[in-house]
Amino acid sequence: MLHSQIENEEIVDRYVRNQLAPAERQAFEAHFFGCDDCFERLQTAERFAAGMRDAAARGLLEIPTQAPAMARASWLSWAFAATACVALIFAALGGWAYFGQIPRLRSELRQATRSSETGQQKQAATSQASPTELAEANVPLVMLQATRSAGEAASVVLKTGDRRLVLWIEPGPSRYREFSLEVYSPNDESLTSVDHLKQGPYGGLAVSLAAEQLPSGEFRITLSGQDPSPASLVGEYRLRVRRP
C-alpha cells in the first residue's frame, strides 16, 4: 500500500473507525508495521478516537434535538474544540503516566513476582505440599518491546528450578479492550496462547508462562486485538531464552 493511497483514501481514519474491507485492513497493517510515519499517525488517531469516546461517554457530545440549524452548527464547532482539548489532556496524562508512573509500576511488579504463587496455584497444590512448594522466589521477568526486525529480541536466562516466566507488554493506545497472545517455538510451531488479556490502569499486560515450555532458543510472540471484532495483529515480539 502506497502513501499516496493512504492519504487520498483516508486509510488511517477509516482503519480507526473500523471501516476498511478485510483486504484493505491487511494491506495497511502490513504497511504501517514497517513505516514509522504511518505508525505514529495511527497512534495519534487512536488517541484522538479514545478522547472522542470518553467525551461521548461523559455526555459532552450530546446534540440538542430542538436546536436551530445555525445554533447546532455552532454547538458542533464548540464540541469539536472541546473534544480536541480533552484528547490533548488525555495525551498529557498518558505521557505523565508513562514517564512518571510506569517505572514505579514496573518496580512494584518485580517485587510482586518475588512473593508467592497465585491463588490458583495454591488450590492446585496437594494437601501434602509444604509451604515452600507454594511459593517461588526471584521469578524471571522480561519486558517485551514491539519489533520490526528479526534481529531484535529481548533476552532472559531461565535457570534450573525456574517454574514460571512473567512477560510484561505495553501495547500502547488501542481500540481494543481485550487481547490474545500466542507463543511460537523456534521452529515456528504454536506452543501456547492466552486469551482475554486486559490492560491494567497504566496500560500494561502481564502474562505468566510455564518455564518448562521454553527451551533454549528464540521465540516469536504475537499480540492480537480480540474485542471488539474484527481481530487483528497489534504487535510482534522476539524472546531469546538461554539456559545455563
Residue 155, pLDDT > 50, answer yes
Report the percentage of the chain scoring pLDDT > 90: 27
Helix crossing, 36-57 with 69-96: angle to 10°?
Answer: 120
Helices (H), the chain: 3-8, 11-16, 22-32, 36-57, 69-96, 102-113, 119-124
DSSP code for 135: -
Which residue spans of the chain are classified as CATH 2.60.40.10?
115-242
Q: Give the span between the Cα atoms of 183 and 194, in whole angstroms.
A: 9
Among residues 110, 106, 218, 213, which one has the least CA distance to residue 163?
213
Say whether domain 115-242 belongs to CATH 2.60.120.260.
no
Mean pLDDT to the nearest integer, 168-181: 89
Q: Which residue has the higher pLDDT, 42 or 163?
A: 163
> Where does residue 217 fall: left (phi above 0), alpha (psi -120 to 50 degrees), or beta otherwise?
left
Residue 47, pLDDT > 70, answer yes
- The number of angstroms, rounded, from the C-alpha of 140 to the middle of its chain's C-alpha atoms is 21
Q: Which residues lie closer than 8 Å to 138 by C-beta, 6 or more apart?
A: 114
Task: Look at residue 129 in the predicted model and tell me its pLDDT.
Answer: 47
Task: Look at residue 112 in the predicted model and tell me its pLDDT.
Answer: 63
Query: Where residue 181 falls among pLDDT bands split at 50, 70, 90?
Result: very high
Mean pLDDT to the nearest integer, 7-16: 84
Q: Which long-range contacts (CB under 8 A, 24 or more apart) does 183-187 make?
A: 183/209, 183/213, 183/219, 183/220, 183/221, 184/219, 184/220, 184/221, 184/222, 185/217, 185/219, 186/217, 186/218, 186/219
Mean pLDDT to the nearest integer, 161-189: 91
Q: Summarize pLDDT for 201-235 with one digit per residue, the tens.
A: 777 899 999 999 899 999 999 999 999 999 999 88
Residue 89, pLDDT > 70, answer no
Task: Look at residue 174 in the predicted model and tell me its pLDDT.
Answer: 83
CB-count burial class (<10 Å; 0-12, 13-18, 19+) for 49: middle
Query: Where residue 180 falls among pLDDT bands split at 50, 70, 90?
Result: very high
Mean pLDDT to the nearest integer, 64-75: 49
Mean pLDDT (the chain) is 76
Mean pLDDT to the nearest integer, 160-181: 90
Residue 25, pLDDT > 50, answer yes
Task: Look at residue 67 in the predicted model and tell me its pLDDT.
Answer: 46
pTM: 0.47
